[in-house]
């Protein structure tokens, strides 16, 4: 995930706007799906896998010089494993992740993230300068989330990036999960419930 820096002058300007200065009408900018990215990492007793997935569409709302809301739709049919080669297990894992054992893509072709609030954050890891709150919907089930993000604003739009750790059991993803099956019985076949989504969203005029 790229490290990005937020202009102190712009941040101060945003705070002054919130404090009672002149306000701008909200502007909505489409997420650039060609320059934005979403990645994933899942772990198991014997190792891990990582990959990416495509954004279907998204929108950032900018108000008073700051992101005030965002919605991103993920195309679950584009799950793509990066640590395996074609012919070396990649196709099998991609298909399994899209099956009913995991994300049930035929019934649930999209997932969604909604950003509802940003709060200034000092001393965040990896350059994070805001704490984000929002909601993730996978397989028709929604969970509230909170996580640090890095925000960069410019006259042309905005960029926001971060990592979200999710518990797959909250979204009824049961395969070899200790939340649904006995961990001792699963042994080294156990797949951990937590997985990480990394994202970088770019939106502009």
Please report the pLDDT score of residue 24 as a whole number: 64
Across 11-15, 93-97, 139-143, 187-191, least confident range: 11-15
Please say whether the beta carbons of 201 and 58 come within 8 A: yes
Q: Are 71 and 114 in contact (CB under 8 A)?
A: yes
CA distance 147 to 131: 6
pLDDT of residue 19: 40
**DSSP letters for 22-35:** --PPPEEEEB-TTT
Residue (of 44, 51, 48, 46) closest to 82 by Cα position: 51
With vertex at residue 64, the alpha carbon angle to CA 63 and CA 67, rounded to the nearest 5 degrees, is 45
3-state secondary structure of 84: coil
Average pLDDT over residues 45-72: 96
- Give the model's pLDDT for residue 127: 87
Find where tokens 């990592």 sit.
163
Mean pLDDT of the chain: 90
Residue ranges and CATH numbers for the domains of the chain are: 8-17+25-204 (2.40.128.110)
Tell me the three state secondary structure of residue 179.
coil
């Amino acid at each position: 995930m790229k490290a990005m820096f937020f202009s102190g002058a712009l941040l101060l300007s945003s705070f002054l706007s919130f404090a009672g200065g002149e306000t701008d009408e909200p502007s909505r900018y489409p997420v650039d799906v060609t320059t934005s990215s979403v990645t994933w990492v899942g772990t198991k007793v014997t190792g891990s896998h990582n990959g990416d997935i495509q954004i279907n569409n998204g929108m950032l709302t900018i108000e008073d010089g700051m992101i005030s809301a965002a919605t991103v739709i993920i195309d679950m049919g584009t799950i793509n494993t990066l640590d395996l080669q074609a012919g070396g297990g990649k196709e099998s894992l991609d298909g399994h992740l899209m099956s009913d054992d995991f994300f049930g893509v035929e019934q649930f072709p999209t997932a969604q993230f909604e950003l509802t609030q940003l709060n200034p954050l000092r001393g965040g890891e990896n350059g994070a300068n805001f704490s984000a709150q929002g909601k993730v919907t996978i397989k028709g089930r929604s969970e509230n989330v909170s996580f640090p993000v890095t925000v960069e604003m410019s006259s042309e739009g905005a960029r926001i990036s971060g990592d979200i750790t999710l518990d797959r059991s909250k979204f009824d993803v049961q395969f070899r999960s200790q939340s649904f099956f006995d961990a001792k019985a699963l042994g080294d076949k156990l797949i951990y419930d937590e997985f990480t989504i990394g994202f970088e969203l770019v939106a502009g005029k």
